[in-house]
With several copies, the nearest count.
Chain A
Amino acid sequence: AGCGDRGAGTGTGGGKPLIGVDYPRSDTDFWNSYIRYVPQSAGQLGVDLKTTNSQNDIANLISNAQTFMSQGVKGVVMAPQDTAAIAPTLAQLESRKIPVVTIDTRPDTGTVFMVVRADNRAYGTKACQFLGTKLGGRGKVVMLQGGLDSINGRDRTEAFSECMGKEFPGIKVFGEATDWKADVAASKLQTRFASDPDIRGVYMQSSFALSGTLQILKQRGLQVPPTDPKHVFVVSNDGIPEELKNIGDGLIDATVSQPADLYARYGLEYAKAAIEGKTFQPGPTDHGSTIIQVRDGLLEDQLPAPLVTLDGAPVAGQPTVKYDDPSLWGRKG
């Protein structure tokens, strides 16, 4: 198994391969980190880039894919936030023999060369296990959901709720939809604190709600060390530098580090490999992840998305990473 067979180099003659990368959106911290890593990785890998931005709109993504075809790209890397509606585009790209690597999401139907993603369900489960363990299986937690129309948000919500229901039935979960908006999240959290002052845990599905949550805790005098029974455990998601810094300062307790750098790197690497005619098999890779076959003909490289904590000690038997570990992408920025 391993990193795949080094097939005969039937790739592009001469020049660097041209790869089209569509950015799903440019208004979140996480995706902007990705946007910054892509050109860096392209330089390292020696590929030429065409980039577009579909601004979280599937219609734009389709049009951008058409533009890539007009521009004669040899491979496409995209992150379709809508996993169902992308099928016709994938079919079209396939008919033109342009390999596609999807980042972050797995299309519901259609063929892609490789899916590069971290498991969003795993994010929710990790956050649940952390909070459940720290709270000793009792108490109330608030989950600040993302947008209902986001597959990643839904995966995190479902996994978190499922895990809580199964493993920690003593914990009451308040799920609040926030549309990925910081102010909505802040006012809903505040309302929850008003109705249930004994809330002991917060799970934010993304760093968008980070500083608003901290402000509320500060305002209510709840920023106390974990040893204090009043401590509210906060788990965030993304792994941006600000989160790592806050963990170090003891303001939040954990975050899930989404591998923005690895998304950029392996998205391009697999696209290049596809252009060069390489193929891959299920099994562990050379970069600490595993390729699994999720359905017939669809491979997925599941990148590690570690839980980051202050001390890096295992939680519920699962390993975690210390907040200042240099391997974290948030430390390289």
Chain B
Amino acid sequence: MSDTLSTGTVPASAPPPTRPSSRHLAVARLRDLALVPAIVAVAIVGWIISPVFLSTDNVLNVLQSMSEIAILVLAQTIVLITGKMDLSLESTFGLAPGIAAWLVVDPELTRGLGLGLLPDAWAVPVVLLVGALVGAFNGLLIVRFGLNGFIVTLGMLIILRGLLTGISGGQTFFALPGSMTYLGSTSWLGVPASIWVSLLLFAAGIVVLGHTRAGRALYAIGGNADAARAAGIRTDRVLWVALVVASVLAALAGLLISGRLAAVPAAQGDGAIFQVFAAAVIGGVSLNGGRGSVFGAFTGVLLLFMIINVLTLAGVPAQWTNFLNGAVILIALVVSRITGGKAQT
């Protein structure tokens, strides 16, 4: 590379930028925006198919229905950047509000312990606490015992879902306390609170991952854990925190959707992890760690939900919706490979 350009004395002026690296920079900067043209294209197609698509009502609808999954995508992005993955997020998404409901709701009204032990106001802290505990347990197995993250969280996915089925007896928890439904069902300034929450979390994610020591540590660990350790980053602790934060975010997302539905179905989150991975990867987050951005992940999830919305508005036959969803994901992957370089590896 450029060190072979012989320069006896370093000139005061910086060496003229070589082509390769300046192009690299441009690519890196553009990768974040890689999906914007696609989003615009889908918006136009959607508007042609149904003018309703761009109505405030429908835009809010898209944003609200993606808000919970978007938070899961944010959580997964954090974990992916460190070079791990957390499949169990989809189960935490259901289990955390499920446990809170189980502990709090009145058994007269619906299934639940309702031990009278916990006042309703405790429901939300319990949700977040369950998330934190799941994350800590994942951390114990992955960071402390050195087990493979994919397989640990796969086991946790199954076990946590089983736990929710077990405590709920497979039934839906209804009649949630107001503290649990507030965030998911209220509106601020005419916009559902869950949209605000998800947008704020993404904004925070952009700042933290892009502009703080802790955030950059995630990238360093994902890029080369040994080097990060040698540079004085407490890699184990950071990984642990990342797993806990991701699980707490998943619990929060679960709280939002439980609030929106005013219930915790035993199957809450079932199968969501596929969509979460697809959105993160389409958004340019690398499964090998160290690469990807929170903003990119946001564009990924936005694109996916816009397409699903367009398909619904277009009224595609029910039996073909799954096929089309899959096709959209695959095509988005191939396109992001062609346009954005090695975005998805």
Per-residue interface assignment for chain A, residues 66 to 109, with 1 indicating a CB less than 8 Å from any chain B CB and 0 otherwise = 11011110000000001111111000000000000000000011
The A-contacting residues of B in range 164-197, CB under 8 angstroms, are 165, 169-175, 185, 187, 192
Determine the interface band of chain A, counting residues with CB < 8 A from chain B.
Answer: 35 or more
Sample 8 A-B pairs with CB under 8 A, ordered by A number. Answer: A35-B319, A53-B321, A57-B271, A67-B312, A71-B52, A88-B260, A176-B312, A211-B263
- State whether A149 and B266 are in contact (beta carbons under 8 Å apart), knowing that A26-B170, A51-B318, A53-B321 are contacts in the complex: yes
Cβ B61 vs Cβ A219 within 8 A: no
Cβ A194 vs Cβ B318 within 8 A: no
Cβ A70 vs Cβ B263 within 8 A: no
Q: Is B226 an interface residue (CB 8 A)?
A: no
Q: Contacting B265 at CB < 8 Å: which of A70, A174, A182? A: A182
Cβ B165 vs Cβ A195 within 8 A: no
Determine the interface band of chain B, counting residues with CB < 8 A from chain A.
Answer: 35 or more
Cβ B172 vs Cβ A207 within 8 A: yes
The B-contacting residues of A in range 2-42, CB under 8 angstroms, are 23, 25-29, 31-32, 35-36
A315 / chain B contacts, CB cutoff of 8 Å: none
Residue of A whose beta carbon sits closest to that of B262: A211
Cβ A148 vs Cβ B170 within 8 A: yes
Q: Is B57 an interface residue (CB 8 A)?
A: yes
Spell out B's residues near A (CB within 8 Å).
50, 52, 55, 57-58, 61, 64-65, 68, 109-110, 165, 169-175, 185, 187, 192, 257, 260-268, 270-271, 309, 312-313, 315, 318-319, 321-322
- State whether A211 and B174 are in contact (beta carbons under 8 Å apart), knowing that A32-B319, A71-B50, A195-B52 are contacts in the complex: yes
B313 / chain A contacts, CB cutoff of 8 Å: 67, 71, 191, 195
B172 / chain A contacts, CB cutoff of 8 Å: 29, 82-85, 149, 182, 207-208, 210-211, 242
Q: Contacting B321 at CB < 8 Å: which of A26, A29, A197, A215? A: A26
Cβ B52 vs Cβ A85 within 8 A: no
Q: Contacting A218 at CB < 8 Å: which of B58, B109, B110, B185? A: B185
- Provide the bound-state CA to CA distance between A176 and B318, in Å: 7
Nearest CB in chain B: distance from A210 CB, A? 7
A69 / chain B contacts, CB cutoff of 8 Å: 57
Residue of B whose beta carbon sits closest to that of A246: B174
- State whether A148 and B58 are in contact (beta carbons under 8 Å apart), knowing that A32-B171, A183-B68 are contacts in the complex: no
Q: Is A136 an interface residue (CB 8 A)?
A: no
The B-contacting residues of A in range 38-75, CB under 8 angstroms, are 50-53, 55-59, 62-64, 66-67, 69-72
Q: Is A212 an interface residue (CB 8 A)?
A: yes
Cβ A211 vs Cβ B261 within 8 A: yes
- Provide the bound-state CA to CA distance between A181 and B69, in Å: 14
Cβ B185 vs Cβ A191 within 8 A: no
Q: Contacting B170 at CB < 8 Å: which of A32, A88, A108? A: A32
Cβ B61 vs Cβ A70 within 8 A: yes
Cβ B309 vs Cβ A82 within 8 A: no
A59 / chain B contacts, CB cutoff of 8 Å: 65, 68, 257, 260-261
New A-B pairs, 12, CB < 8 Å, besides A29-B170, A62-B261:
A27-B165, A27-B267, A28-B266, A32-B171, A32-B319, A82-B172, A148-B170, A187-B64, A190-B65, A193-B57, A212-B261, A241-B110
